């Protein structure tokens, strides 16, 4: 019989993440993939920022920041994750390019099937010694991430195509449900290791906050340097600041089996919302006449 911890990590967490990714699929259409070909510069800047620069920044910070090895792996896992579903909502509220945000979330989620397990595996080997490192199977991680991210996105897209009226009506409630599930999962991650959480927060809190702020600034600067418009800069900045904390916690807790590694994902998820909300107000105040982007 499963104990409460196993029920959460083996059943509730995967099902919640699957629903969150299904909600992403409800907002995605084939035209969003065509957009990548039509406006490749917008997507390329966002993808490079998130898939290459973000993990490199995290690795650089961890090279000079002394924290527990398992926490370092957890930071690298959250840095390797795609944007979260809330990035699409906050991009919309910030009058950013919502279509670009959704495209980045979905496509990078698909690519993360390969990149996330590789970065997680490398991080375990690099930061941990043989005695403390957990045994992992990259193949198992790839299959796990594929089953819990790619498949639900495809199902969501299929539902949107087959039942567009239902998808349109359910899209906003799905966002709310996904956000509630994220809060529940973060709370569960904190409670699961509550005896050590304060100490872990002291170690991982500063580095995750620094990662968040530095990455948002770099993404904004790169988008500006490449001559992107304000809606596109907004979308890319938020996409690089709001990571899929649920996926990070799932990989650490369910696929790797480490409560310690999932803590940075929970901490980052707590800290990313205040910075994103502050950015939202800054953008809206700076561009009060700009219309909401679809």
Q: Is the pLDDT of residue 161 over 50?
A: yes
pLDDT category at 99 given cuts 50, 70, 90 is confident
Are the C-beta atoms of residues 159 and 25 closer than 8 Å to each other? Answer: yes
Distance CA 93, CA 281 (A): 9
At a CB cut-off of 8 Å and minimum separation 6, what does 33 contact?
103, 107
Residues 6+ apart with CB under 8 A from 34: none
What is the rounded average pLDDT of the residues 10-17? Answer: 79
The pLDDT of residue 73 is 95
Please indicate whether residue 45 or residue 16 has the higher confidence score (pLDDT): 45
SS3 291: coil
Highest mean pLDDT of the ranges 28-42, 100-114, 122-136, 229-243: 229-243
Instruction: Give the pLDDT of residue 224.
Output: 94
CATH class of the domain at 4-286? mainly alpha
* Mean predicted confidence (pLDDT) in 267-272: 90
1: how many CB neighbours lie within 10 A of its CB? 4
- pTM metric for this prediction: 0.87
Q: How far, in Å, CA of 22 to CA of 54, rounded?
A: 25
Going by pLDDT thresholds of 50, 70 and 90, the confidence category of residue 118 is very high
Q: Which residue is it, tokens 């196993």?
A: 6
- Which of the four pLDDT bands, split at 50, 70 and 90, describes residue 9? low
pLDDT higher than threshold 80 for residue 194: no
**Residue 243: strand pairing partners:** 83
Q: Which range, of 39-48, 160-169, 171-180, 270-279, averages the lowest pLDDT?
A: 171-180
Q: Is residue 246 very low, low, confident or very high in pLDDT (cuts 50, 70, 90)? A: confident
Written as one string, the DSSP assignment of 56-115 is: HHHHHHHHHS---HHHHHHHHHHHHS-B-HHHHHHHHHTT--HHHHHHHHHHHHHHHHHH
């Amino acid at each position: 019989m499963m104990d409460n911890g196993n029920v959460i990590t083996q059943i509730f967490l995967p099902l919640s993440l699957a629903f969150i990714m299904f909600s992403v699929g409800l907002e995605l259409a084939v035209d969003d993939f065509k957009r990548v070909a039509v406006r490749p510069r917008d997507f390329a800047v966002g993808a490079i920022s998130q898939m290459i620069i973000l993990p490199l920044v995290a690795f650089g910070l961890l090279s000079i920041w002394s924290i527990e090895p398992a926490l370092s792996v957890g930071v690298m896992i959250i840095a390797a994750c795609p944007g979260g579903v809330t990035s699409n909502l906050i991009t919309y509220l910030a009058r950013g390019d919502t279509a670009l945000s959704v495209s980045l979330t979905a496509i990078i989620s698909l690519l993360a099937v390969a990149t996330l397990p590789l970065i997680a595996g490398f991080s375990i080997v690099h930061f941990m010694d043989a005695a403390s490192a957990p045994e992992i199977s990259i193949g198992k991680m790839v299959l796990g991430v594929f089953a819990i991210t790619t498949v639900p996105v495809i199902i969501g897209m299929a539902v949107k195509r087959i039942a567009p009226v239902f998808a349109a009506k359910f899209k906003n409630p799905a966002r709310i449900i996904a956000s509630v599930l994220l809060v529940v999962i973060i709370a569960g991650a904190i409670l699961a290791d509550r005896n050590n959480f304060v100490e872990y927060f002291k170690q991982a809190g500063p580095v995750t906050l620094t990662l968040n702020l530095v990455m948002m600034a770099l993404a904004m600067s790169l988008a500006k340097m490449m001559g992107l418009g304000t809606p596109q800069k907004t979308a890319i900045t938020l996409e690089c600041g709001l990571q899929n904390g649920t996926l990070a916690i799932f990989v650490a807790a369910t696929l790797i089996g480490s409560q310690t590694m999932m803590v940075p994902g929970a901490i980052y998820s707590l800290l990313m919302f205040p910075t994103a909300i502050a950015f939202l107000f800054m953008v809206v105040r700076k561009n009060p006449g700009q219309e909401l982007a679809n």
